[in-house]
Amino acid sequence: MKAEIQLTPEQKQDLVERAKQARQWAYVPYSHYPVGAALLTASGKLYDGVNIENAAYPTTICAERVAVFKAVSEGERDFVAIAVVTEDGGSPCGSCRQVMSEFGLGLHVMMANAQGEILSECSLADLLPRAFNSSSLE
């Protein structure tokens, strides 16, 4: 597990603001629960994502996974922090936690409400104790 990197208050707020801005592009005709995410990589790049719903519910994808997949598709593998913005500061779902864990449990996770107020922050290891990862396959 990589060590968690300390972010400045300004870096945290910038990440939350990026997620908050991305949230406007969410496609949520069924749940009406828009989510925005912003992922900071070790290279300093930011990747955002939104949840995208589908009438066939299992094919819906969460904002966190969109951000991770965008980053990975651009060659990024080392993630520092992710901000998730929802109406009420909701937490990443289990599928998102599992996908993020593939790239390190030291990821700093911030959950903020629609006003951009950080309500909770912790490491991914705290959100996903006893994670199933590559070492589980050895």
Amino acid at 66: V
Q: How many C-beta neighbours within 10 Å does residue 1 have?
A: 13
Is 122 among the annotated ligand-binding positions?
A: no
Is 96 among the annotated ligand-binding positions?
A: yes
CB 119 within 8 A of CB 83: no
Q: What residue has token string 């991914």? A: 124
Is 51 among the annotated ligand-binding positions?
A: yes
CB 48 within 8 A of CB 19: yes
Of 4, 17, 64, 138, which one is the catalytic site residue? 64
| 4 is annotated as an active-site residue | no
Lookup: tokens for 120: 């909770």
CB 133 within 8 A of CB 103: no
Is 53 among the annotated ligand-binding positions?
A: yes
Largest Cα–Cα distance in the chain?
Answer: 44
Is 57 among the annotated ligand-binding positions?
A: yes
Is 56 among the annotated ligand-binding positions?
A: yes
Is 54 among the annotated ligand-binding positions?
A: yes
Query: Which residue ranges make up the annotated binding site for Zn(2+)?
Result: 62, 93, 96
Query: Which residue ranges make up the annotated binding site?
Result: 51-57, 62, 93, 96
Which residues are known to be catalytic? Answer: 64
Query: Which residue ranges make up the annotated binding site for substrate?
Result: 51-57
